[in-house]
Amino acid sequence: MLAALVRFLGDFELAEEAAQDAFATAAERWPRDGEPANPAAWLIATARNRAIDRIRRDRTLAAKARLLDVPGRVEDDITDMDDTPIPDERLELLFTCCHPALSLEAQVALTLRALGGLGNDEIARAFIIAPETMKRRLSRARSKIKLAGIPFSVPPQHLMPERLAAVLAVIYLIFNEGYGGRGDLAAEAISLGRVLSELMPDEPEVHGLLALMSLLHARAAARFAGGEPVLLADQDRDLWDRELIAAGRAGLERALALRGRGPYVLQAAIASLQCDDPVDWPEIAALYAELARLTNSPVVELNRAVAVAESGFPQAALAIVDGLELDDYPYTHSTRAELLRRLGRTPEAADAYRRALALTDREPEARFLRRRLALL
Amino acid sequence: MKYAMLIYLNAGSTPALDEAEQQAVTAEYYALSEEPTCVSGGQLQPVQTATTVRVQDGQMLTTDGPFAETKEVFGGYYIFELDDLDAALEIAARIPAARMGGSVEVRPLVEVARLVEG
């Protein structure tokens, strides 16, 4: 509904106000007059009318560029709009919210607000910032959308790869915020991914991302025990969400059938293999190698090293880790420590655990590292 | 909407161009100004020709050159009339300075308010 209003009004703030007005009117009228046959169409028509009233009341608003094209009042005739199809403009809204001309923080906040339907205070809480700060951030972003002419449209084909990547990155960022502990955000990201996969059914990376998030989230309940992170091998598989794993794998199949081989598809394939028993580590190592070629990411190389070690080659894995320029990353050192421990190089392993401890600021992980250190 | 493309040149990192290359770049700038959506544009003389003016307590103060020491100097601008920011960003990416160590700042112009028929 918000998407349709933004398209019509060309203004985020006005659309949100109008939507609130419409819901208030509905709350007052529906119990009295009965619910209209097409409640969504009724709400949109009412919201439009409220917005037009507002514009007429406020001449300074009327001066704003896109509002000049406001057409006449839509008649409030409830019986007339039963068959009116409501165009689904969530995709346009998503591409506007994730436009690269906006800061990443703003993209995330706008997406949660406009498509996730989260309130300002909820978003502020999720990102641990003051509600006032979030309000300003959203307001600045809305204002830039309007003044800079950020289009409300699905990008043309030649811009699509870059712009779709931005949308996927925003959704995955929201998911990772949730994966770090705030489960509601992870669920929100999965629901955004599901919407996107319905709206763009032919994009393999869209299915890849949804599959990846589903497969990771399926293991969420087993990842921590008493507040401590649990290694994949030690996780209680009964806590895994089998339904979500099946959904994730179906999405992965879909992506592969569309000949997807992008970063999200590869990560989903890895996450799927990790749900097998026993885990095919050599295959995972090969997928990480492919992913590293695509992304040039040292973090991916670090993960490849883990898979190589799990395949039975800790020495080769250590060589990969030692070749990485990723010295400020705690997992580089905790991985090194684990490899050195397996190779019987205990004093070096202890040093590496201490290095990892010095770099980590998450208490559960610090506890985990101290325990590993004590076990040496 | 009208967009200003503010072109900043990075003197330090601009590779030395031979005459033919310089001509090709000039031709690119010229081609942009010939676009039907280009409203106007201008190239500035080098920053050494600049004079900065300030008025303090009614007194005019003039100084030679630009005030701040910056690597990027403002070198010229275009004004384009375009549908939206995406169209503006595509034009901006075609401006040679953007790939030659400089940058292009895209800024919408304030639209002169028109009254709506009530």
Contact B85 A151 (CB under 8 A): yes
B46 touches chain A (CB under 8 A): no
Q: What is the mean pLDDT of chain B?
A: 88
Taking the C-alpha atoms of residue A116 and residue A126, their distance in angstroms, rounded to an integer, is: 13
Q: What is the pTM of this model?
A: 0.76
Taking the C-alpha atoms of residue A68 and residue A59, their distance in angstroms, rounded to an integer, is: 11
% of chain A exceeding 70 in pLDDT: 84
pLDDT in tens, A14-43: 677 777 777 777 777 776 677 777 777 767
Of A59, A149, A153, the CB nearest to B1: A149
Tokens of A59: 């001449």
Tokens of B15: 């590779």
String of b and e for B76-94 (b: at least 16 CB within 10 Å)? bbbebebebbbbbbebbee
Contact B3 A149 (CB under 8 A): yes
- Distance, CA of B50 to chain centre: 16
pLDDT-wise least confident of A35-39, A235-239, A325-329, A350-354: A35-39
End-to-end CA distance of chain B: 23
Query: What DSSP string describes A96-165?
Result: HHT-TTS-HHHHHHHHHHHTS---HHHHHHHTT--HHHHHHHHHHHHHHHHHTT---SPPPGGGHHHHHH
Q: Which long-range contacts (CB under 8 A, 24 or more apart) does B59-63 make?
A: none
Tokens of B77: 């601008």
Residue pair B101/B13 in contact by the 8 Å Cβ criterion? yes
Of B86, B108, B116, the CB nearest to A155: B86
Contact A148 B115 (CB under 8 A): no
Taking the C-alpha atoms of residue A366 and residue B30, their distance in angstroms, rounded to an integer, is: 61
Residues of A in contact with B116 (CB under 8 A): 55, 59, 62-63, 67-68, 70
- The residue-averaged pLDDT of A57-70 equals 41
Taking the C-alpha atoms of residue A162 and residue A168, their distance in angstroms, rounded to an integer, is: 10
Angle ∠(A105,A107,A113) on CA atoms, nearest 5: 100
pLDDT in tens, A176-224: 887 655 658 898 899 999 999 999 999 999 999 999 999 999 998 898 8
pLDDT in tens, A92-110: 999 999 999 999 999 999 9
Tokens of A79: 């019986």
Residues of A in contact with B89 (CB under 8 A): 101
pLDDT-wise least confident of A50-54, A187-191, A330-334: A50-54
Taking the C-alpha atoms of residue A277 and residue A244, their distance in angstroms, rounded to an integer, is: 17
pLDDT at B16: 75
Q: What is the mean pLDDT of chain A?
A: 85
The nearest CA of chain B is from the CA of A170 a distance in Å of 19
Nearest residue of A to residue B118, measured between CA atoms = A56
- The residue-averaged pLDDT of A267-287 equals 96
pLDDT over 60 at A83, yes or no = no
End-to-end CA distance of chain A: 58
Distances in whole angstroms, Cα of residue A233 to Cα of each of A160, A176, A225, A310, B93: 39, 22, 14, 10, 49
